[in-house]
Amino acid sequence: MSSRTPDPHDFLDLDAGLAEEERGICAAVRAYAKDNLLDQVADWYETGSLPAAELAKGFGSLGLLGMHLEGYGCAGTSAVAYGIACRELEAVDSGLRSFVSVQGSLAMYAIHKWGSEEQRQEWLPRMATGDALGCFGLTEPDAGSDPGSMRTRAVRDGSDWVLSGTKMWITNGTVADVAVVWAQTDDGIRGFVVPTSTPGFTANEVKHKLSLRASLTAELVLDGVRLPGSAAFPEVRGLRGPLSCLNEARYGILFGVVGAARACYEAALEYTLSRSQFGKPLAGFQLTQRKLADLLVEVNRAGLVALQIGRLKDAGTLHHNHVSFGKMANVRSALSAAREARSMLGANGISLEYPVMRHMANLETVLTYEGTEEMHALSLGQAVTGLAAFR
Ligand SMILES: Cc1cc2nc3c(=O)[nH]c(=O)nc-3n(C[C@H](O)[C@H](O)[C@H](O)COP(=O)(O)OP(=O)(O)OC[C@H]3O[C@@H](n4cnc5c(N)ncnc54)[C@H](O)[C@@H]3O)c2cc1C
């Protein structure tokens, strides 16, 4: 037995087991966040705005955009390194991790995995540096959990494609240079690389959000958007295409939310140690210690789950059911930690002066997007019973 008391900020010593590259990325993102993000994020959240171009350049210069992809100017890091970067970004705000996830795991991954060589050469190097931003249009007003029911349609007109339809809740839609859009065709669902300057393409900001406010969300309207034949992803057909991308993004989420949970725990620990009521620090009361112990368990258990899933991904043995497990388990842990931490800060818990309620509200989005908790529960149910209960 060691006589060293565990570190309250890394209780299970998880970071000690990280490879040098992973530790380096962790330190670099933390330093960047401290210098460029932490002081500003509450204002972005309050105003529902984001300096997207500036952030893209900053994240690009850090090598975070498409960092786990190979070639085309991407860093080609391990999956764990990418996960750690997501964790450190989401410790600041889920909106910032979403920014990087959408660019790297949805838009860039889609082009990298399913695009033609020409599409890759055209977009990926610029997206890796943050000179071009991407978005990913799958969800529609009437097709969320059931994307197979999408109505957006692409039809042939000579050698061209013409796209019509509406996509909803699309992160970075208003600032994207390129949209990966999924549409019905006579040959099943296909993906299209759509420059957002194409006539007929409009992005309208989604307003009145009470969650993920430090993130830009859009409705995309495609009104007879005419594209050359080369705009379609050449091979992939059906939901396999978009679902492969969602799995990448969900992986970033299951790591990212560990950061949000940790930030809430740290805020609650610091607050209850420094504020006194009834003549002693709040942290000295048994009920508060019970809550702190619960938070500690949630944060570290979620960290372990993420790390194990990351190791499976690096070993090439990750199954999409593992990702469902991690997304469901870790978002649930983070949300529960955030709600508990919120109560521990009393009235200050509802203020943007502290990060906790911002994280709590963000995590409501994270619970819903990239497959709702219910969808992942159904995936796990199917995995262990062999029975599909989706419809
Ligand atoms: C801020 C934000 C950003 C987003 N960014 C993007 C993006 O960049 N790109 C993109 O394509 N999408 C994006 N989304 C959309 C997101 O992925 C969808 O909201 C999500 O898939 C759920 O779809 P829905 O909202 O239509 O809910 P619905 O599918 O209508 O579900 C509503 C409720 O019913 C439940 N439900 C549905 N079917 C079943 C069933 N069979 N059994 C039991 N319960 C069921 C759901 O679990 C949920 O609780 C974003 C969403 C938000 C909020």
The whole-model pTM stands at 0.97
Instruction: Say what the pLDDT of residue 304 is.
Output: 98
pLDDT of residue 381: 98
| Coil, helix or strand at residue 227 | strand
Residue 44's pLDDT is what?
98
**For residue 212, which atom of ligand 1 is closest to its CA?**
1
Looking at ligand 1, which residue's alpha carbon is closest to its atom 16? 369
* Average pLDDT for 86-99: 98
Q: Is 63 in the pocket of ligand 1 (CB under 6 A)?
A: no
The reported pLDDT for the residue numbered 39 is 97
246 pocket-lining for ligand 1 (C-beta < 6 Å)? no
Is 370 labeled as catalytic in the residue annotation? yes
Joined together, the tokens standing for residue 233 give 């992803």
Confidence at 65, pLDDT banded by 50, 70, 90: very high
What pLDDT score was predicted for residue 227?
A: 98
What distance in Å separates the CA atoms of residue 3 and residue 101, rounded to the nearest whole number? 40
Determine if ligand 1 sits within 6 Å of the CB of residue 169.
yes
pLDDT of 175: 98
pLDDT for 161 = 98
How far does residue 250's CA lie from ligand 1's centre (Å)?
A: 14
Q: State mean pLDDT over 186-190.
A: 97
Question: What is the distance in A from the centroid of ligand 1 to the CA of 372?
Answer: 6
Residue 215: both structure tokens together? 């993130």
| C-alpha 144 to ligand 1 mean position (Å) | 4
Report the separation in Å between the CA atom of 211 and the middle of ligand 1, taken as the mean of its atom positions: 14
| Span 207-259, pLDDT tens digits | 999 999 999 999 999 999 999 999 999 999 999 999 999 999 999 999 999 99
* Cβ 171 under 6 angstroms from ligand 1: yes
CB of 271 sitting under 6 A from ligand 1: no
Mean pLDDT of the chain: 97
Amino acid identity, position 389: A
270-306: pLDDT as tens digits: 999 999 999 999 999 999 999 999 999 999 999 999 9
Type of residue found at 243: L
Of the pLDDT bands very low, low, confident and very high (cuts 50, 70, 90), residue 151 is very high
Q: Which of 219, 248, 340, 370 is catalytic?
A: 370
Confidence tier at 49 by pLDDT (50, 70, 90): very high
Instruction: Please give the structure tokens belonging to residue 329.
Output: 């388990």
Give distance in angstroms: CA of 375 to centre of ligand 1: 9
Instruction: Measure Cα distances from 389 to 103, 135, 142, 150, 377 in Å.
Output: 32, 31, 20, 20, 10
Q: Is the CB of 137 under 6 A from ligand 1?
A: yes
- For ligand 1, atom 9: residue with the closest CA: 170
Task: Give the contacts of 62 (CB within 8 A, at least 6 positions apart).
Answer: 28, 29, 32
Confidence band, pLDDT 50/70/90 cuts, at residue 388: very high
For residue range 316-370, list pLDDT tens digits in order. Answer: 999 999 999 999 999 999 999 999 999 999 999 999 999 999 999 999 999 999 9
Q: In the chain, what are the domains?
A: 14-129 (1.10.540.10), 134-231 (2.40.110.10), 240-385 (1.20.140.10)
Interval between CA 121 and ligand 1 midpoint (Å): 32
Query: 145 CB less than 6 Å from ligand 1?
Result: yes
Average pLDDT for residues 155-161, to the nearest whole number? Answer: 98
Of all residues in the chain, the percent with pLDDT exceeding 90 is: 99
Residue 103: CB within 6 Å of ligand 1? Answer: no
> Could you tell me if 216 and 44 are in contact, meaning their C-beta atoms sit under 8 angstroms apart?
no
Instruction: Convert the pLDDT of each residue in 234-244 to its tens digit.
Output: 999 999 999 99
Indicate which atom in ligand 1 lies nearest the CA of residue 211: 1
Query: Residues 269, 292: contact at Cβ < 8 Å?
Result: yes
**Best of 168, 169, 362, 387 to mutate for ligand 1, by most ligand atoms within 8 A of CB?**
169
What's the gap in Å between 62 CA and the centre of ligand 1?
A: 31
Q: Is 380 in a helix, a strand, or coil?
A: helix
Instruction: Please give the angle made by the CA atoms of 320, 189 and 161, to the nearest 5 degrees.
Output: 140
Q: Specify the residue with its C-alpha closest to ligand 1, atom 12.
A: 139
Query: Which pairing describes strands 217-227 and 160-171: parallel, antiparallel, or unpaired?
Result: antiparallel
| pLDDT, average across residues 13-42 | 96
Give the model confidence (pLDDT) of 105-144 as tens digits: 999 999 999 999 999 999 999 999 999 999 999 999 999 9
Cα Rg for the chain, rounded, in angstroms? 21
Measured distance CA(223)–CA(201) in Å, rounded: 6
